[in-house]
Amino acid sequence: MEDTLKSLSMDYLNLLINGQAFSDVTFNVEGRLVHAHRCILAARSLFFRKFFCGAAAADQAAPAPGALLLDHLSPRSPSGASASSPRGSAAAAAPGAVIPVNSVSYEVFLLLLQFLYSGQVSLVPQKGEPRPGCGERGCWHTHCAAAVDLALDTLAAARSFGVEELALLTQKQLAGMVEKASIEDVMKVLMASRKQDLHQLWTTCSHLVAKSGLPPEVLAKHLPIDVVAKIDELRLKSSMSRRSPFLAHHHPHHPAGIEASSAAEIDEHHKIRRMRRALDSSDVELVKLMVMGEGLNLDEALALHYAVENCSREVVKALLELGAADVNHPAGPAGKTPLHVAAEMVCPDMVAVLLDHHADPNVRTVDGVTPLDILRTLTSDFLFKGAVPGLAHIEPNKLRLCLELVQSAAMVMSREDAHTAAAAVNAAPMYSEPPGGGGPVYNASGANTSMNLSLDNRMVYLNLGMDAQFGKMSDGGDGDDGGSRGQGGPSSLFSPHGFH
């Protein structure tokens, strides 16, 4: 049955492309003729059905369906009557009439017809195709400005022509694009969703704008004042609901302490928002100044957790090298460490840099779950269910690489623990005082020399091996935002619009 439907879809699409001999309606779009078939358009679109039935509507002295076309189709009869009149609508519906299409580009109109004929369409421009609005050479057009513009134009056309299935498909496409698009394009989609009353797309974009950290005065240059006010309100709600754990446990014992507590909370909120803005802009030096000059506690502010989930590998690495954050600090009610977060995100870059800075692969949450347990569960879901709950897209190579990194690190730590225990047991009978006095000297049992290879060195070797095998990781790169931002874990610690 599936093959039959696919064949039927291709046959109808071929009719649109090569069926000029059988067409009975012609559109003029940007000076180019498009031949189509009334019966198919009328069957698939209520808009076209009403338009082609304009003659019947004119006979009933009812408002002409052609009046619905307004700026979308502006057919003109030879006598000059417009489609907004009953006479013009009837003339437009007459066989042989060429119907001008205004305010819709040729490319978008073809996409609309392609969906009406076949039930499927690709809303992404051709890979590497030069397009206005995209200056990147060889761009794949997955989330660039040109891809966003095409999707927005298609969405507007689909809603104008009443093709709701295409409108829903385009909304899903845009929701995926904005996760990786520039903030300018996100604001563009935000305004389009507001204009067309698309609540879900509005929510997604408003959260992303709130998370961007752009101050209100900058947002006001691109967005209306009422939208900026809503973004600020969203940020305020987010900050109040995401207060740091140390604030929740502060209990003053007298009324004066309540006011002092409130002022301290506000001060800490401002610090955390500034810290996250700095991390979003990769300004780790500012975070360092806040630690040294303002007494910012990176663990209580969950700086490392936030950076792992929202920033690049280089930012996380620089933050770790400050030496002010505990790589194994548990956060939230579940007690997740940054490595738990990286494992849920299936991000090899983050997993590698955390392990390289002594993240414990065996640390457990409150429920007794280790990062290795998380990756094993994700692998099982992917292998046996074909999908991972909470992750829209997952790359098998990345999942396998994360699993092997954490497994190898766990094995290294297990062996070192065993060697340490063995050395402690054998230490008493295995040393003697040297002739010249001094401390004990171990004999050549090999127990201590086996630990000369540190975890850092082992991780370097492991990373090099994985690079050669998969070609996925770049130790000196600027971090793959697609690996860290694009795939939020199923139980994210931070909403898309956290402190800023």
Max Cα separation, the chain? 120
* 490: Cα separation from own chain's centroid: 13
* pLDDT value for 201: 92
Per-residue confidence band for 266, with pLDDT thresholds at 50, 70 and 90:
low
* pLDDT value for 386: 57
Asked if the model's pLDDT at residue 195 lies above 70, the reply is yes
As a three-state string, the secondary structure of 290-358 is HHHHHCCCCCCCCHHHHHHHHCCHHHHHHHHHCCCCCCCCCECCCCECHHHHHHHHCCHHHHHHHHHCC
- Averaged over 98-120, what is the pLDDT? 90
CB 70 within 8 A of CB 103: no
Distance CA 162, CA 168 (A): 11
The identity of residue 256, as a single letter, is A
Q: Which of 136, 157, 130, 227 is nearest to 187 (CA)?
A: 227
* pLDDT value for 268: 73
Distance CA 329, CA 365 (A): 11
CA distances from 213 to 140, 272, 288, 326, 371 (A): 28, 12, 19, 25, 30
CB 324 within 8 A of CB 291: yes
Q: Calculate helix-pair angle for 183-195, 164-177, nearest 10 degrees.
A: 150
Sign of the dihedral defined by the CA atoms of residues 20, 21, 24, 26, in that order: positive
Q: How open is the CA angle 263-268-274, to the nearest 5 degrees?
A: 130
* DSSP code at position 138: T
Distance CA 500, CA 492 (A): 17
Asked if the model's pLDDT at residue 202 lies above 80, the reply is yes
Q: Which residues pair with 132 in a beta bridge?
A: none
Q: Which of 187, 185, 204 is nearest to 144 (CA)?
A: 185
Helix, strand counts (H, E) of the chain: 23, 5
The winner for highest mean pLDDT among 106-120, 204-218, 441-455 is 106-120
CB 287 within 8 A of CB 319: yes
* pLDDT value for 424: 67
Per-residue confidence band for 1, with pLDDT thresholds at 50, 70 and 90:
low
* pLDDT value for 385: 61
Tokens of 491: 């139980």
Low-confidence winner among 40-44, 135-139, 408-412, 429-433 (lowest mean pLDDT): 429-433
Q: Tell me: the pLDDT tens digits for 285-314?
A: 888 888 888 888 888 888 899 899 888 889
Distance CA 430, CA 253 (A): 58
Per-residue confidence band for 263, with pLDDT thresholds at 50, 70 and 90:
low
Q: Tell me: the pLDDT tens digits for 418-441?
A: 777 777 666 555 444 444 444 444
CA distances from 476 to 150, 272, 284, 347, 354 (A): 35, 29, 17, 16, 15
Distance CA 467, CA 365 (A): 30
Q: What is the mean pLDDT of the chain?
A: 73
Sequential DSSP letters for 29-94:
ETTEEEEE-HHHHHHH-HHHHHHHTHHHHHHTTSPPGGGGTTTSB--B-TT--BTTSHHHHHHHHS
Q: Tell me: the pLDDT tens digits for 437-477?
A: 444 444 444 444 333 434 444 444 344 344 434 443 344 44
Asked if the model's pLDDT at residue 28 lies above 90, the reply is yes
Q: Tell me: the pLDDT tens digits for 78-103?
A: 334 444 444 445 555 555 678 999 87
What's this model's pTM, rounded to 2 decimal places?
A: 0.46
* pLDDT value for 106: 92
Per-residue confidence band for 498, with pLDDT thresholds at 50, 70 and 90:
very low
